[in-house]
Amino acid sequence: MAGVIFGGVTLLFFMAVAVAALFGHEVPAESRFLILVVLAFGAAMAAGFFGGKAAAKGMIPFTPIAVSTTGGVAVLVIVLLLGYYLYVEPTSPARSQIVTVVPSGVPRDFTIDNLSPDSLADVGQFRTIGDRQFLYVEFLPGKLSGRLRLTYPDGSGPGFKKTVYRVKTDGELVTQPEN
């Protein structure tokens, strides 16, 4: 009876995740491991209580110890290993990061505005090495360019100068007219 309950609760959970996906609520990449843990424990408890047999054998690398387990623990290990390599890990390199050189006319005191939040995931980290300033930009998956605005004190008088740039995944930073 307990195996049926754990199996049913796990099934209901994943049915809710599937329904949420139908309405555009995807599981974020950083939360996929939590989904995997729920699946693994639900499957392990259901298998353990059902009395089913599953086995996992193997050597621990760099040691002469052999490990063997059966039942629910084996299901837990098998689902966690397979799930990690098939569901969690493939999402890691989703975003691309580049470093671009800030134009020489821009002073060290500037602010950055992301004008393309649908293309650029993160802008704003910058480093100064010698006389050069470098800007770190992170693109969302599949995006090749985005727009950002640098605001800095105007050297010719009071006020601020605002310059819009198009940044590309190859690191090119090109001045754009502000619309």
Q: Residue range 158-179: average pLDDT? A: 83
Q: Work out the burial of residue 43: count CB atoms within 10 Å of its CB; fewer than 13 is exposed, 13-18 middle, 19 or more buried.
A: buried
**pLDDT over 60 (residue 65):** no
Q: Residue range 60-73: average pLDDT? A: 61
The percentage of residues in the chain with a pLDDT greater than 90, rounded to a whole number, is 1
- CA torsion, ordered 36, 42, 44, 46, to nearest 10 deg: -160
Q: Residue 94: its pLDDT value, please? A: 57
Alpha helices in 84-169 (DSSP H): none
The structure's pTM equals 0.46
